[in-house]
């Protein structure tokens, strides 16, 4: 059975999609961009600040659905420029200090609203 997850502490979807969908013990989180849910605006700063906000948004959705970062099994990181990979990785790594998930990271020609990063996440109950 499919359950739509809506976390009030994460930005609302900006299109015809759900923040996350849970099905059969798995949580599929739509790509999160660095929107501050309190202001509805992209956070100020560069890749470090934007990655931090994305991870906070993912944390809010995980929490709302009853999951944790330790439940994450796969992430896909989209970057506007691979030159930002190292700085993104430093922030991202803080959230996965042990047994990090599988991951793909690559540059996309353009990301929504001109952001520097977008991350989609899959978590599973163990």
How far separated are the first and last CA of the chain, in Å rounded? 18
Residues recorded for the chain: 126
Range of the domain at 61: 2-124
Question: How far is Cα 58 from Cα 68, in angstroms, rounded to an integer?
Answer: 10
Q: Tokens representing 84?
A: 């930002």
Domain CATH number, residue 107: 3.30.1330.40
Across the strands, what pairs with 35? 42
CB 105 within 8 A of CB 53: no
User: Count of domains in the chain?
Assistant: 1
Residue 24 CB neighbour total at 10 angstroms: 8
- The answer on pLDDT for 7 being more than 90 is yes
Average pLDDT (67-77) is 98
Task: Please tell me the predicted confidence (pLDDT) of residue 120.
Answer: 98
Q: What percentage of the chain has pLDDT greater than the value 70?
A: 100
- The answer on pLDDT for 126 being more than 80 is no
Task: Please tell me the predicted confidence (pLDDT) of residue 15.
Answer: 86
């Amino acid at each position: 059975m499919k359950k739509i997850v809506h976390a009030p502490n994460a930005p609302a979807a900006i299109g015809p999609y759900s923040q996350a969908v849970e099905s059969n013990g798995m949580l599929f989180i739509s790509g999160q961009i660095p929107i501050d849910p309190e202001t509805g605006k992209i956070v100020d700063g560069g890749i470090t600040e934007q990655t931090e906000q994305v991870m906070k948004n993912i944390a809010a959705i995980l929490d709302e659905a009853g999951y944790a970062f330790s439940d994450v099994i796969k992430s896909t990181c989209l970057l506007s420029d691979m030159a930002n990979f190292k700085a993104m990785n430093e922030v991202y790594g803080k959230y996965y200090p042990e047994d990090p998930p599988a991951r793909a990271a690559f540059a996309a020609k353009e990301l929504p609203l001109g952001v520097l990063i977008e991350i989609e996440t899959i978590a599973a109950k163990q």
